């Protein structure tokens, strides 16, 4: 079974649709317990990951870093996930690795502990890279678990999975403000308990996953394509989705990395106040992620993607011109609208590439995420040579890239394909 995008549009047995056999247990209902467990682990994983940007002000002061060096930390973290995750995803599409889930969390734990004792800029980069490696192992197989457990409610399942990560990303800065900022870099190690809890839960999820694989004879991926699109159109659509995720990830990575600096520099607020304002934005992203799932299941992923693009642009254009209260207030609708689309872009890609869950995860939770990190690094350089306000002015236009969604095809199954799955 090839991992290429082009082959994913090819045919497969007519009795196997949307990545599962007709009449299989996966088609019977949604395993919310499994999705909930993996979502909790996603929360804990991304909570740990969010500590890296959350302590940027502490690292900048303690090590005398400039904005370009801060951007390189983000780049080191996200590129390890970006470069490795597609490779892991393609491999696990062929050879599932259920117990790689706790292994990935072990890498995250090691990076966290190294970050807590890092005494040089190089060690900080290494620690950030290890945390990124843990993410690259965790996401492909956890995405496959969610797909298997979702039944037919893929939008809801993907949203519940991703909201766990968003919630973890949102509370990370708050915990950093309450724990790490007043107590110093060494207190980062206190969060190792979160990684240990996640490893325990993931061991149980891995057993469930392994049992499901055993029931399927060890097969995880099926390649039926009920949308009937040509390989060329599938490849073009996937490329457009990557561009959409890129624009959203650069925007969110820019706000996550530099929002605290922007508030401190422009409005003179304290680090703790800036961290709480960042929490407002990230919590809004998490809430939008949940809202988008049921809407996607009812009206389709494309509707949510379009709503995110057209809805967020007016707010992002206003943001650089607001006072402190207006800035914090505007991050709420921006987070809600932007957050609603990302899980649905993943679901849309899964509809285009049935049976390639690992590849989709690698492209959209890995590659595009890492490219977003590259964008954050470039924004850091821009801030060094101009100002942090200039960065916000540039970011304001990034959602406009999403207008490429006009070229996305419809992927709703043809009537014959729907009938086969019932």
* Rounded CA separation 399/249 (Å): 10
Residue 412 has pLDDT above 60, yes or no: no
Segment among 237-251, 322-336, 362-376 with least mean pLDDT: 362-376
> Please, are residues 52 and 365 in contact by the beta-carbon 8 Å criterion?
no
Higher pLDDT, 362 or 16: 362
* Rounded CA separation 287/162 (Å): 10
**Average pLDDT of the segment spanning 198-226:** 76
Give the model's pLDDT for residue 36: 94
| pLDDT tens digits, one per residue of 111-145 | 999 999 998 999 999 999 999 899 888 988 898 89
Q: Measure Cα distances from 234 to 63, 229, 248 in Å.
A: 47, 6, 21
* Rounded CA separation 401/413 (Å): 28
Give the model's confidence band at 354: pLDDT under 50 very low, under 70 low, under 90 confident, else very high.
Answer: confident
**Average pLDDT of the segment spanning 286-302:** 80
User: What CATH number has the domain spanning 16-421?
Assistant: 1.20.1250.20
* Rounded CA separation 75/375 (Å): 8
The mean predicted confidence, pLDDT, of the chain is 80
* Rounded CA separation 310/306 (Å): 6
Residue 254 has pLDDT above 60, yes or no: yes
Give the model's pLDDT for residue 124: 92
Of 361, 274, 292, the closest CA to residue 100 belongs to 361
Q: Find where tokens 């929360």 sit.
A: 43
Give the model's pLDDT for residue 103: 92
Residue 24 has pLDDT above 50, yes or no: no
CA 408 to chain centre: 21
| pLDDT tens digits, one per residue of 164-205 | 887 887 788 788 888 888 888 889 999 999 999 999 999 999
| H-only helix segments in 95-153 | 100-117, 121-149
**Domain ranges, ordered by start, for the chain:** 16-421
* Rounded CA separation 419/18 (Å): 12
> Please, are residues 134 and 105 in contact by the beta-carbon 8 Å criterion?
yes
Give the model's pLDDT for residue 114: 94
Segment among 100-104, 166-170, 351-355, 367-371 with least mean pLDDT: 367-371
Give the model's pLDDT for residue 218: 52
**Average pLDDT of the segment spanning 70-86:** 80
Higher pLDDT, 89 or 203: 203
Give the model's pLDDT for residue 130: 93
| H-only helix segments in 25-64 | 32-54, 56-63
| pLDDT tens digits, one per residue of 362-395 | 777 776 666 666 777 788 888 888 988 898 888 8
> Please, are residues 98 and 206 in contact by the beta-carbon 8 Å criterion?
yes
What pTM value is reported for the model? 0.69
* Rounded CA separation 320/308 (Å): 19
Give the model's pLDDT for residue 60: 86
**Average pLDDT of the segment spanning 303-309:** 79
Give the model's pLDDT for residue 19: 36
Of all residues in the chain, what percent carry a pLDDT higher than 70?
86
Give the model's confidence band at 411: pLDDT under 50 very low, under 70 low, under 90 confident, else very high.
Answer: low
Give the model's confidence band at 5: pLDDT under 50 very low, under 70 low, under 90 confident, else very high.
Answer: very low
């Amino acid at each position: 079974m090839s991992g290429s995008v082009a082959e994913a549009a090819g045919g497969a047995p007519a009795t196997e649709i949307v990545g599962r056999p007709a009449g299989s247990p996966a088609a019977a209902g949604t395993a919310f317990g499994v999705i909930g467990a993996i979502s909790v682990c996603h929360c804990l994983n991304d909570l740990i990951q969010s500590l890296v940007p959350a302590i940027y002000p502490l690292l900048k002061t303690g090590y005398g870093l400039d904005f370009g060096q801060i951007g390189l930390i983000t780049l080191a973290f996200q590129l390890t996930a970006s470069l490795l995750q597609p490779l892991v995803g393609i491999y696990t599409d062929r050879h599932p690795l259920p117990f790689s889930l706790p292994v990935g969390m072990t890498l995250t734990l090691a990076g966290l502990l190294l970050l807590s004792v890092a005494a040089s800029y190089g060690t900080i980069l290494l620690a950030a890279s290890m945390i990124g490696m843990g993410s690259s192992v965790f996401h492909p197989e956890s995405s496959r678990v969610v797909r298997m457990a979702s039944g037919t409610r893929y939008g809801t399942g993907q949203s519940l999975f991703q909201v766990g990560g968003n919630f973890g990303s949102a509370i990370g800065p708050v915990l950093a403000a309450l724990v790490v900022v007043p107590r110093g870099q060494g207190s980062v190690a206190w969060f190792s308990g979160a990684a240990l809890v996640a490893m325990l839960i993931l061991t149980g999820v891995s057993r469930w996953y392994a049992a499901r694989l055993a029931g399927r004879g060890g097969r995880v991926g099926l390649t039926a394509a009920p949308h009937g699109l040509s390989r060329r159109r599938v490849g073009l659509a996937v490329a457009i989705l990557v561009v959409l995720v890129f624009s959203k990830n650069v925007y969110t990575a820019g706000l996550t990395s530099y929002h605290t600096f922007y508030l401190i520099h422009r409005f003179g607020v304290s680090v703790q106040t800036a961290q709480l304002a960042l929490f407002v934005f990230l919590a809004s992203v998490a809430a939008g992620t949940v809202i988008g799932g049921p809407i996607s299941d009812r009206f389709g992923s494309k509707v949510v993607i379009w709503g995110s693009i057209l809805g967020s642009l007016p707010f992002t254009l206003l943001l650089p011109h607001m006072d402190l209260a207006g800035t914090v207030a505007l991050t709420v609708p921006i987070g809600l609208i932007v957050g609603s689309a990302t899980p649905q872009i993943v679901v849309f890609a899964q509809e285009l590439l049935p049976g390639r869950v690992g590849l989709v995860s690698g492209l959209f939770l890995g590659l595009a995420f890492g490219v977003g990190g590259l964008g954050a690094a470039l924004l850091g350089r821009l801030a060094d040579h101009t100002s942090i306000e200039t960065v916000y002015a540039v970011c304001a236009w990034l959602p406009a890239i999403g207008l490429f969604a006009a070229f996305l095809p419809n992927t709703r199954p043809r009537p014959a394909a729907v009938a086969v799955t019932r």
